[in-house]
Amino acid sequence: MRKLVSILAFFIAFATAAQFSDSGKNWEALADVKYEKSKDEYGEIYVPKFGENVKQMNGKTVSLSGFIIPFEGMFEPKHIILSSLPIAACFFCGGSGPETVAEAYLLEEVKYTAKPVTVTGRLELNDTDYDQLMYILKDAKVVVSD
């Protein structure tokens, strides 16, 4: 029974995320990425290789709808992590890929909310700084959905 509840919760979360993700267009476009094995001073790493559609979005203003991921003790009102999926299914807590999350550097502070939000900002692709996510929105603004 517990397994069935978990499966149902995942599908409900997925359906909810799809409802608030710009019809999925921008998140779907960001899924156009492959990974190449490489090494750094710490060992093996996977370097993102962005597809042509993603490269065309670089530097452009895009909107992404999703959920703020509240990292314990790390939430910053002007720097958030956005997931296309609710926390139970996100990259950090669920089993989604890194293409389903983005960092956003906000122009104005925002309070944490579990409600869906839409973040609009200038997209920067990151394939060199492994301390940051591969998708970064700069000069971003947040709108909380009802």
So what's the architecture of 2-31+59-144 in CATH? Beta Barrel (2.40)
**Residue 115 per-residue DSSP state:** S
Q: What is the pTM of this model?
A: 0.77
The dihedral through the CA atoms of 65, 71, 72, 73 has a sign that is negative
33 vs 95: CA distance, rounded Å: 17
Give the C-alpha separation, 43 to 37, whole Å: 10
Angle at 112 between CA 110 and CA 114, to 5 degrees: 130
Query: Which regions in the chain score pLDDT beneath 70?
Result: 1-24, 72-75, 87-95, 146
138 vs 62: CA distance, rounded Å: 10
What was the pLDDT predicted at 22? 52
**In this predicted structure, what is the pLDDT of residue 70?**
81
- 64 touches 26 (CB < 8 A): yes
Domain ranges of the chain: 2-31+59-144
